[in-house]
Amino acid sequence: MGIRITPSILNSDVSDLRGELAKIAGADWAHVDVMDNHFVPNLTWGLPVVEAILPVSPVPLDIHLMIADPDRWAPAYAEAGAQSVTFHAEAAAAPIRLARELRRQGARAGLALRPTTGVDPFLELLPEIDMLLIMTVEPGFGGQSFLDSMLPKIRAARRAVTEQDLDLWIQVDGGVSRETIERAAEAGADTFVAGSAVYKAEDAAAEVEALRGLAEGAHRH
């Protein structure tokens, strides 16, 4: 199972996004949190900012849409060239149709679950998506504590992926750090968002490698 580190630029220095992205050239993807002040009580950026950073990012963009009505808004991110677009199960009216549309546009399609959303109702539609994002904090803000209560959900998702023999990434987002990444990896996550852990570190690039090493070590055991 491969490991992917996908740092979130949410709490980077947004006055210098180009420079902040350059720091994570050794990561696999850059995770971009789009919030609409409706689905979550916070507002960040949208399509114009994603369009602006796509050509200057050293790594592909992993867009995490924390927005209402993704059926209407998500396809434009794929059309703009974002390599992965994740929408929330709680917000989508027709998740299968939307996932198919994102794939048709050439993006990887991701489905995100809030902490209180169970994975069971979505097990049948896993073949329709490329990544399942299990939130390990309530979405909306960086810097919150990892919810250990999500570990059983990660395990259940991993079991389903193994049973169905799918090529599906399991991403965790929220409170991922040197203290928590091994637990998430042992439970079956393979794709790790880390916001404050990476951007509050003295050396962001070294932090990415440290997280990668811990996750790989946890998978080996």
Say if residues 176 and 197 touch (Cβ distance below 8 Å): yes
173 an active-site residue?
yes
Site string for Zn ion, 158-197 (x = CB under 5 A): ---------------x------------------------
33 an active-site residue?
yes
Q: Which two tokens stand for residue 72?
A: 């209407």
Site stretch for ligand DX5 (CB under 6 A), options 69-77, 117-125, 161-169, 195-203: 195-203
Question: Is 84 annotated as ligand-binding?
Answer: no
Does 10 help bind ligand DX5 (rule: CB under 6 A)?
yes
Q: Active-site residue among 28, 33, 36, 130?
A: 33
Longest dimension (CA), the chain: 45
Least distance (Å) between residue 165 CB and Zn ion: 28
Site stretch for Zn ion (CB under 5 A), options 46-54, 56-64, 100-108, 210-218: 56-64
Say if residues 154 and 1 touch (Cβ distance below 8 Å): no
3-class secondary structure, 56:
helix
What is the spatial distance between Cα 175 and Cα 151, in angstroms, rounded to a whole number?
A: 13
Site stretch for ligand DX5 (CB under 6 A), options 13-21, 75-83, 117-125, 172-180: 172-180
Q: At what angle do helices 70-80 and 95-104 cross, to 10 degrees?
A: 10
Amino acid at the residue 80: A
Q: Determine the length of the chain.
A: 221
Identify the CA nearest to 52 among candidates 32, 27, 29, 73. 32
Nearer to ligand DX5, 147 or 162 (CB): 147
Give the residue numbers annotated as catalytic, written as ranges. 33, 173
Site residues (vs ligand DX5, CB under 6 A): 8, 10, 31, 33, 64, 137, 139-144, 173-176, 193-197
